[in-house]
Amino acid sequence: MALRFYNTLSQRVEEFLPARDNTVRMYTCGPTVYDYAHIGNFRTFTFLDILRKWLRASGFRLDHVMNITDVDDKIIRNAVAQHKTLGDYTETYTKAFLEDCATLRLERAERLVRATAHIDDMVGAIERLGARDHTYTSDGSVYFRISTFPEYGKLSHNDFSGNLAGARVDVDEYEKADARDFALWKAPKEGEPFWPSAIGPGRPGWHIECSVMAIKYLGETLDIHAGGVDLIFPHHENEIAQSESLTGKPFARFWLHAEFLMVEGQKMSKSLGNYYTLRDLLDRGYQPEAIRYLLASAPYRKSLNFTFDGLKSSAIAIDRLRNFKLRLETDQYPEGVDEPLMARTAQASQAFSDSLDDDLNTAEALAAVFEYVRDANSAMDSGEFRAGNAAAALQFLGRFDSIFDVLRPTVASGEISDTEIDRRIAERTAAKKARNFALADQVRDQLLGQGIILEDTKSGVRWKRKSS
């Protein structure tokens, strides 16, 4: 089945292929580094990670650019308040963001680009827009005049044609000709940092960085542009207006947007006390893999209800998969293959792919995996399972984990070593042989106290590190 995505622009599911040379040129809106990122942010970034991995699994090469917005009103406000330079202030949160991404096993984009490293490019683009009469200057700030872009609203499917004439009362401190016009370049206010430039001193507006950096690195038409649904308007709409006014070409072929995350059935907000950063959850003892699993388990276009129950369920679900893998690796199977079981594995693998091909239906893909796990466990219990089946099952599990990436435990430093564990297990096995079950149980309990779970099986003892 062919890969297809829901395209916000067309409001339909469309088959996806990159425009040229099998490389997907993708731009995604990264964080504004004024604070630690919260789990709502990571819902979107986890979706992007699954997207990346599935695109590669589908045989495409990736050229993915993600921006770091390191200049904006909040950053300036906080940096000024803390008597820090912009760079010093944003470095802290940029670093924190990259650490958080690593914790959640989110792949790094091929290129991470910072807005402040592209000021000249932005100024140049604003000048070119000015040369084509798309801009005007007011009080030293430069604005994009949206009445010069008739298609404005095509992404968010808003009809602005009736609103353009009568400008509303402006709540902004800046003077705009029309309420919908947006700033390309903002004149500095008292005490604010600014860049000198051919269009006067100031700093870039929010939207221009994405247009400029995307076009610079990926060309005039992207294959995919993605982000959270809240960016559809005005951010992405404005990007389209700028970019297409600049190039005369469609800015992006596919627009993908992740729905919002709820917390315990309510919207996440600081005032409700249900606002969590990744660090908050780790401090409470939740595993990164469980967080990743929960964020990835619902399809990206549905809002996801993030609950602490769900986090616990996710950890247990991961354990089920890890147990399965451990069993495949440690049990002894007779040589050969059972053909019906091979067919079952192939069928499950196909179902997994079909689900992800279908606009990244992760919930359905997981169902395919779990149904298979049950069937394979049954086959192992009944003795039908052969060595060849185990190899095929491990391969399928590997495919699953190359996308979901939750099977590898996050091991804390300072834990008991593998060799020490093996030594203790040998002790216990000897005790069991002597029918000294009291000693055997004592060893098992001691190991459990150190986070090691032992399991007696027909093929011998196997162990695993406790995950929750």
User: What letters, b where the CB count within 10 A reaches 16 and e where it falls short, cover 320-334?
Assistant: ebbbbbbbbeeeebe
23/91 with CB nearer RNA:
91
Rule CB under 7 A: which of 285-344 touch RNA?
A: 297-299, 301-305, 307, 309-310, 312-314, 316-317, 319-320, 323-324, 327
In the complex, least distance from residue 353 CB atom to RNA, rounded to whole angstroms: 15
120/445 with CB nearer RNA:
445
| Enclosing H/E stretch for 386 | none
Contact 342, 318 (CB under 8 A): no
Of the candidates 305, 188, 183, 198, the residue with the CA atom closest to the CA atom of residue 242: 183
Report helix, strand or coil for 405.
Answer: coil
Report helix, strand or coil for 153.
Answer: coil
| Enclosing H/E stretch for 358 | none
| One residue of 76, 361, 388, 447 binding RNA per CB under 7 A | 361
In the complex, least distance from residue 22 CB atom to RNA, rounded to whole angstroms: 28
| One residue of 109, 184, 356, 380 binding RNA per CB under 7 A | 380
- Residue 139 interacts with RNA (CB under 7 A)? no
| One residue of 7, 32, 67, 135 binding RNA per CB under 7 A | 32
| One residue of 108, 168, 423, 466 binding RNA per CB under 7 A | 168
Rule CB under 7 A: which of 411-430 touch RNA?
A: none
Rule CB under 7 A: which of 388-407 touch RNA?
A: none
299/388 with CB nearer RNA:
299
Find the part of the chain contacting RNA (CB under 7 A) among 71-79, 99-107, 187-195, 278-286: 71-79
Q: What is the rounded distance in angstroms from the CA atom of residue 68 to the CA atom of residue 57?
A: 26
In the complex, least distance from residue 65 CB atom to RNA, rounded to whole angstroms: 15
Cβ neighbors of 205 (< 8 A, separation 6 or more) are: 182, 183, 184, 185, 186
Report helix, strand or coil for 33.
Answer: coil
Handedness of CA 410, 413, 414, 420 (dihedral sign): positive
- Residue 373 interacts with RNA (CB under 7 A)? yes
Of the candidates 105, 2, 90, the residue with the CA atom closest to the CA atom of residue 52: 105
- Residue 360 interacts with RNA (CB under 7 A)? no
58/305 with CB nearer RNA:
305
Report helix, strand or coil for 19.
Answer: coil
Q: How far is CA 467 from CA 412, 414, 454, in A?
A: 11, 15, 13
189/249 with CB nearer RNA:
189
How is 235-285 classified by DSSP, letter by letter? IIHHHHHHHHHHHSS-SEEEEEEEPPEEETTEE--GGGT---BHHHHHHTT
In the DSSP assignment, the letter for residue 177 is S
In the complex, least distance from residue 83 CB atom to RNA, rounded to whole angstroms: 22
Find the part of the chain contacting RNA (CB under 7 A) among 100-108, 131-139, 166-174, 189-197: 166-174
User: What letters, b where the CB count within 10 A reaches 16 and e where it falls short, cover 74-94?
Assistant: ebbebbeeeeeebeebbeebb
In the complex, least distance from residue 377 CB atom to RNA, rounded to whole angstroms: 3
| One residue of 1, 13, 61, 74 binding RNA per CB under 7 A | 74
In the complex, least distance from residue 80 CB atom to RNA, rounded to whole angstroms: 16
In the complex, least distance from residue 208 CB atom to RNA, rounded to whole angstroms: 10
Find the part of the chain contacting RNA (CB under 7 A) among 40-48, 89-97, 120-128, 419-427: 40-48
Number of residues that bind RNA (CB under 7 A): 91
Find the part of the chain contacting RNA (CB under 7 A) among 26-34, 58-66, 188-196, 418-426: 26-34
In the complex, least distance from residue 275 CB atom to RNA, rounded to whole angstroms: 9
- Residue 366 interacts with RNA (CB under 7 A)? yes
In the complex, least distance from residue 157 CB atom to RNA, rounded to whole angstroms: 4
346/363 with CB nearer RNA:
363
Rule CB under 7 A: which of 191-220 touch RNA?
A: 205-206
- Residue 267 interacts with RNA (CB under 7 A)? yes
In the complex, least distance from residue 233 CB atom to RNA, rounded to whole angstroms: 4
Cβ neighbors of 73 (< 8 A, separation 6 or more) are: none
In the DSSP assignment, the letter for residue 147 is G
Contact 9, 154 (CB under 8 A): yes
**Torsions phi, psi for 218 (to 5 deg):** -115, -10
| One residue of 18, 202, 234, 388 binding RNA per CB under 7 A | 234
| One residue of 108, 157, 249, 408 binding RNA per CB under 7 A | 157
- Residue 221 interacts with RNA (CB under 7 A)? no
Chain Cα centroid distance, residue 269: 20
Chain Cα centroid distance, residue 383: 41
23/303 with CB nearer RNA:
303
Rule CB under 7 A: which of 245-264 touch RNA?
A: 258-262
Contact 303, 261 (CB under 8 A): yes
